[in-house]
Structure 1
Amino acid sequence: MSQSSPRVLSIQSHVVHGYVGNKSAVFPLQVLGFEVDAINTVQFSTHTGYKTIKGTVLKNEEMEEIVEGLIANDVHYYTHFLTGYSRSADSMKQVAEIIKKLRKKNPKLIYVCDPVMGDDGKMYVPEDLLPVIRDIIVPLADIITPNQFEAELLTGLKMKSVEDALRVTKAFHDKGVKTVVLSSTELGDGSKMIGLASTSERCFKIEIPKVDSTFTGTGDLFAALFLAWSHKTNNDVKLTLEKTIATMQSIVTDTYDNARKSQATGALSPAMRELRLVQNKDVIINPTIKINAVEIKPH
């Protein structure tokens, strides 16, 4: 098998309608030139923000069977491995075993972990996931993309300032994570969020304008884009952060503006807030950087 194209195994949720999990990650990776193999941990009609959810959950033994099939056919060479939302501690333990098997085939495999556990001070996964992600998954990750709440949960450190954020990133580096990305923090003001990306040598901060709505699937998209641009820029963390944020801002703003054309005021329905990925294919391939990241140093 030719190993010329980067090849990703993405284990995430799947929705028939809309864009979260693998639906949010696979298309951007493909248009950026990555081969993507996807294992869908759930197959739901829509994401859980809709009033009715129907669908099925992949059992752990079924996931194991799929991976065994890939290994048996010797098609389990991957350059990258990506995981997102999981509701089960057992399935995350299984993910750890899958990583070990894939690294036997390719010791240079890069694992990008989006440790989806909660936001705004609330966990929306079972609490028994926390020790599994913190103690088993994080030490296996090369790149990790938590939001502020998740980063605080995983390190046990609070983040009230940029200095605090640097301590949090250092705690992840000390566990062996090469690149730590705080995809969103509340360290900005009412109009801006702050994102941070850190390697053991350097740390960059970027100010992200807030949009007057919330969107589902943005974290999944962020992790996929950061994976892609890390590879394409040869791990230039500043440029990767800028390209990722540029793409995110374009898609979120376009989704919001498009929704407001059909509904000028009031709360937007989940269906109107589905990310417009296909319509922004050109932006994904070639984002225009409008916001630059700035290097920050510990005092």
Structure 2
Amino acid sequence: MKNPVKKVAAIHDLSGFGRASLTSIIPILSYMGIQVCPFPTAVLSTHTGGFKDFSFVDLTDSMEDYMNHWKKENIEFDCIYSGFLGSPEQADIILDFVKKFKNNSNIVVVDPVMGDDGKFYSTIDENMVHKMKNLIKKADIITPNLTEATYLLGQKYTKDIEEEKVKKMLVDLSNIGPKIVVITSIPNIHISDNIDVFAYDRDDHKFWKIGCKYIPADFPGTGDMFTSVFIGSLLNGDSLPIALDRSVKFINIGIRESFGFTYPRREGILLEKVLNTLNMPIINSNYELLE
């Protein structure tokens, strides 16, 4: 029996305060008409961006029981979506999850959350990079930022990166396993106030790029929001470039809306004020097909 509402298994942490991970993934995908089934990897008092001395409860020991109960109940998903991991060992559990729940019609999306601006997040180390490399082998789609892409490829991070180099990175990452690779947060070296998102689809060997104006503000959690909108768009029938366009526009609108208010940036963008923009039709698409 076909479910009238698509389901996503969201394998992420839950932060009690701050708009990141499950606290942003659930409202975004739910608003887009998709059921989110949370599979928590850790519970934190706050997210890790901009907060100190946060409490951190690693849920590694409970994840297998959680997964096995879902399997026993014959629950099926249209998408398996993993992000922040509470420990390197969790990557092996997620590989087992994919083995148990992957089928011919669903997709596996891995957002390899490890760092930004050339640095690891506070709970991440080289062991996580090794485990994440194994995990992306089983993914259909991955959505690293530029920092995470360089970690996965064992390369040195730099903001001064030419388009041809980005295209090679996309292909090299796809050769590890995923059919679709999206790299976010790439500074445009030719337009100083632009930031770009690049994507590669191995099936038709097409490269896509979409850019937007850079706004000088750091809001944690935008990567989770970007990938959530991207997944929701694909599950709702959008093409790859339209899904990219929708995701970039949503984050750009969210940052612009939030930038005009005075409040601690570490709380994340004001998601509650911009959720309704997810229903806006895509007009004047900004994507570019690369040679």
2:88, 2:131 within 8 Å by CA — same for their partners in 1? yes
Change (3 A) 1:147 1:51: closer
Change (3 A) 1:287 1:152: farther
Change (3 A) 1:282 1:21: same
Name the residue aligned to 1:265.
none
Name the residue aligned to 1:193.
195
The answer as to 2:149 corresponding to 1:151 is: yes
The answer as to 2:133 corresponding to 1:130 is: no
Alignment-mate amino acid for residue 16 of structure 2: V
Shift of 1:289: 4.6
Pairing of 1:217-236 with structure 2 (within 5 A): 217-234=221-238, 236=239
Change (3 A) 1:253 1:89: same
Structure 1: gaps (5+ residues):
260-267
The TM-score with structure 2 as length reference comes to: 0.90
Shift of 1:50: 4.6
The answer as to 2:82 corresponding to 1:83 is: yes
Whole-angstrom distance in 1 between the partners of 2:168 and 2:57: 37
1:82, 1:113 within 8 Å by CA — same for their partners in 2? yes
| Count of matched residue pairs | 283
- Larger mean CA deviation between 283-292 and 77-86 belongs to 283-292
Name the residue aligned to 2:251.
248
Shift of 1:18: 2.4
Aligned with residue 264 of structure 2, among 261, 269, 272: 269
The TM-score with structure 1 as length reference comes to: 0.88
Shift of 1:54: 4.2
Name the residue aligned to 1:264.
none
Q: What do residues 229-265 of structure 1 show as CA deviations (whole Å, max 9, x unaligned)?
A: 122235x111111111111111111111123xxxxxx
1:42, 1:58 within 8 Å by CA — same for their partners in 2? yes
The answer as to 2:73 corresponding to 1:73 is: yes
2:217, 2:259 within 8 Å by CA — same for their partners in 1? yes
2:222, 2:268 within 8 Å by CA — same for their partners in 1? no
Shift of 1:296: 0.8
Whole-angstrom distance in 2 between the partners of 1:50 and 1:252: 17
Pairing of 1:1-299 with structure 2 (within 5 A): 2-75=2-75, 77-103=76-102, 106-124=103-121, 125-134=124-133, 136-157=134-155, 160-188=161-189, 189-200=191-202, 201-234=205-238, 236-259=239-262, 269-270=264-265, 273-286=267-280, 288-289=282-283, 292-297=286-291
1:246, 1:289 within 8 Å by CA — same for their partners in 2? no
1:117, 1:150 within 8 Å by CA — same for their partners in 2? yes
Q: What do residues 109-161 of structure 1 show as CA deviations (whole Å, max 9, x unaligned)?
A: 21111111111111221110111111x11111111111111112212356721
SS at match of 1:3: coil
Whole-angstrom distance in 2 between the partners of 1:28 and 1:137: 25
SS at match of 2:209: strand
Whole-angstrom distance in 2 between the partners of 1:90 and 1:69: 20
Whole-angstrom distance in 1 between the partners of 2:188 and 2:145: 12
